[in-house]
C-alpha cells in the first residue's frame, strides 16, 4: 500500500545545477538552498566533491558548504566519487554523503572513467572510511532502466549491482532513471526483482528524470510498492552532463501536488517552493518546465 509519509530527497542544487551552461554564482546557490530549507525540505543535496574539470558548475563545493547557513534538522548530503572527494568533503566538515555507481559498463566509463566491476574498488575505501566515522552513505545507481549507449539494461544486472552497494555499507539505494526512459511496468518489475533478491523497499529510493514525461507515473508506481523516499528537483531542474538525453528530474512541485492528492505527508510548503522555483527560473533566464509551477504562478 501507499506510505503515510514520504521523504523528499531534493536534488535541485546538485543534479539541477550540475548541468547548467552558465556558471551559477555561489550567492545564488546559497540563496536557493536557503529558500528550499525555508519551504520545509528536510534533505537538500547540496553539491558534489567530484573532479572540478569534470563538473565545473560544482567546482565551488568547498566554498558552498562553508557558506551554508545550515538549518538544524535539515540534511545537506553531497556526492563523493572517490577517496580524494571524501578527503575534500571531510575537510569541509560534511557528515552525509552519496556515492554514485553505474548499472551499465558504458556509463561507468563515461561518468567515472572506470568500469562496471572496477568502480567498486573506487567506492569500497570511501564507504569503509565514511561508515567508520559514523557518516551515512547513500548509494546511487544510474541507468537502472536503460542506457543511451547500450539500450536496455538487464534487471538482473541492476539488482546485482545495487545489492553490492548495500552490502558494501550504503544505508539506502537510489534507483536512477538517468535518461528518463522508464515506464510504470518496468518500475514494478525492477522493484519486485529487488524484493525477490532480499532487498526490502525500506532501503530503496527512486530517482526519475522526466525526459519522456513518465516520472510522476513511475513515482506513483513506486509509492504503491511501498517506496517512501523520492528524489526530485525544485522546478524540475536537472540532467547529467555525461549522459546525452538526460533532462530535468521529476519536479518537486509536481511530486507534492500528487502527494497532497493522495493524502501523503511530506512537510513542504508548496507555495513557498513555487516562489523559489519562479525566482530560480529568473536567475537562470528560462521558465521552469514544471507543470505545477506553471499552473500556480500564472
Ligand atoms: P579520473 O580522471 O579517472 O581521476 O576521474 P583520477 O583518480 O585518475 O585522478 C586524476 C586527477 O584528478 C588527480 O590529480 C586526482 O587527485 C584528481 P593529479 O594527481 O593528476 O593532480 N581528482 C580529484 N580532484 C578533486 N576531486 C576529486 C578528484 N578525484 C580525482 N573527487 C573521477 C575519475 C571519478 C574523479 C571523475 O570521473 C569524476 O569526477 N566524475 C564525476 C562525474 C559526475 O559528477 N557526474 C554527475 C553525477 S552522477 C549523476 O548525475 C547521476 C545521478 O543523478 C543519478 C541518476 O540520475 O541516475 C546521481
Ligand atoms: Mg540524476
Tell me, what's the ipTM? Answer: 0.98
Q: Measured from the CB, is residue 138 less than 6 Å from ligand 1?
A: no
- Convert 233-260 to b/e letters by CB count within 10 Å (16 or more is b): bbbbbbbbbbbeebbbbbbbbbbbbbbe
Q: Measured from the CB, is residue 233 less than 6 Å from ligand 1?
A: no
Give the distance (Å) from ligand 2 centre to CA of residue 136: 19
- The structure's pTM equals 0.97
- Ligand showing the shortest atom-to-Cα distance for residue 111: 1
Share of the chain above pLDDT 90, in %: 94
pLDDT in tens, 188-227: 999 999 999 999 999 999 999 999 999 999 999 999 999 9
Residue of 51, 52, 139, 179 to mutate, ligand 1, most atoms within 8 A of C-beta: 51
**Phi, psi dihedrals of residue 117, rounded to the nearest 5°:** -85, -45
Q: How confident is the model at residue 238 (pLDDT cuts 50, 70, 90)?
A: confident
Give the distance (Å) from ligand 1 centre to CA of residue 51: 4
Closest by CA position to 208, among listed 174, 185, 234, 258 = 174
Q: Measured from the CB, is residue 104 less than 6 Å from ligand 1?
A: no
So which residues are the catalytic ones? 240
Residue of 50, 61, 119, 219 to mutate, ligand 1, most atoms within 8 A of C-beta: 50
Residue range 3-32: mean pLDDT, rounded? 96
Give the distance (Å) from ligand 1 centre to CA of residue 162: 20
Share of the chain above pLDDT 70, in %: 98
Q: How confident is the model at residue 43 (pLDDT cuts 50, 70, 90)?
A: very high
240 pLDDT more than 80: no
Residue nearest to atom 36 of ligand 1 (CA): 112
Residue range 124-141: mean pLDDT, rounded? 97
Q: How confident is the model at residue 245 (pLDDT cuts 50, 70, 90)?
A: low
Residue-level pLDDT at 19: 87
Give the distance (Å) from ligand 2 centre to CA of residue 190: 18
Residue nearest to atom 8 of ligand 1 (CA): 113
* Side-by-side strand order, sheet with 78-79: 43-44, 7-10, 229-232, 204-208, 172-177, 136-142, 96-102, 78-79, 47-48
Residue range 102-129: mean pLDDT, rounded? 98
**Phi, psi dihedrals of residue 114, rounded to the nearest 5°:** -140, -150
Which atom in ligand 1 lies closest to the alpha carbon of residue 122?
34
**Phi, psi dihedrals of residue 10, rounded to the nearest 5°:** -80, 120
Instruction: Report the alpha-carbon distance of residue 124 to residue 169 in Å, rounded.
Output: 9
Amino acid at each position: 500500500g501507499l506510505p503515510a509519509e514520504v521523504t523528499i530527497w531534493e536534488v535541485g542544487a546538485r543534479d539541477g545545477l550540475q548541468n547548467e551552461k552558465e556558471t551559477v554564482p555561489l550567492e545564488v546557490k546559497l540563496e536557493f538552498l536557503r529558500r528550499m530549507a525555508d519551504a520545509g525540505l528536510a534533505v537538500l543535496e547540496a553539491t558534489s566533491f567530484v573532479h572540478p574539470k569534470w563538473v565545473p558548475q560544482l567546482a565551488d563545493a568547498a566554498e558552498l558548504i562553508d557558506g551554508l547557513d545550515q538549518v538544524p534538522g535539515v540534511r545537506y548530503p553531497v556526492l563523493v566519487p572517490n577517496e580524494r572527494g571524501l578527503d575534500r568533503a571531510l575537510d569541509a566538515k560534511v557528515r552525509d554523503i552519496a556515492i554514485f555507481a553505474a548499472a551499465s559498463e558504458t556509463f561507468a566509463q563515461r561518468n567515472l572513467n572506470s568500469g562496471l566491476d572496477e568502480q567498486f574498488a573506487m567506492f569500497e575505501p570511501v564507504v569503509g572510511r565514511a561508515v567508520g566515522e559514523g557518516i551515512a552513505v547513500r548509494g546511487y545507481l544510474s541507468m537502472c532502466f536503460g542506457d543511451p549507449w547500450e539500450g536496455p539494461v538487464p534487471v538482473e544486472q541492476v539488482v546485482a549491482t545495487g545489492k553490492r552497494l548495500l552490502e558494501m555499507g550504503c544505508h539506502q539505494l537510489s534507483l536512477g532513471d538517468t535518461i528518463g526512459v522508464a515506464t510504470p511496468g518496468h518500475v514494478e518489475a525492477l522493484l519486485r526483482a529487488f524484493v525477490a533478491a532480499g532487498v526490502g523497499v525500506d532501503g530503496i529510493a527512486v530517482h526519475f528524470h522526466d525526459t519522456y514525461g513518465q516520472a510522476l507515473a513511475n513515482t506513483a508506481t513506486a509509492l504503491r510498492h511501498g517506496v517512501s523516499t523520492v528524489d526530485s528537483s525544485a522546478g524540475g531542474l536537472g540532467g547529467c552532463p555525461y549522459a546525452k538525453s538526460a533532462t530535468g528530474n521529476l519536479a518537486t512541485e509536481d511530486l507534492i501536488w500528487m502527494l497532497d492528492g493522495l493524502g501523503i505527508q511530506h512537510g513542504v510548503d508548496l507555495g513557498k517552493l513555487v516562489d523559489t522555483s519562479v525566482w530560480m527560473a529568473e536567475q537562470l533566464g528560462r521558465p521552469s518546465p514544471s507543470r505545477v509551477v506553471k499552473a500556480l504562478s500564472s
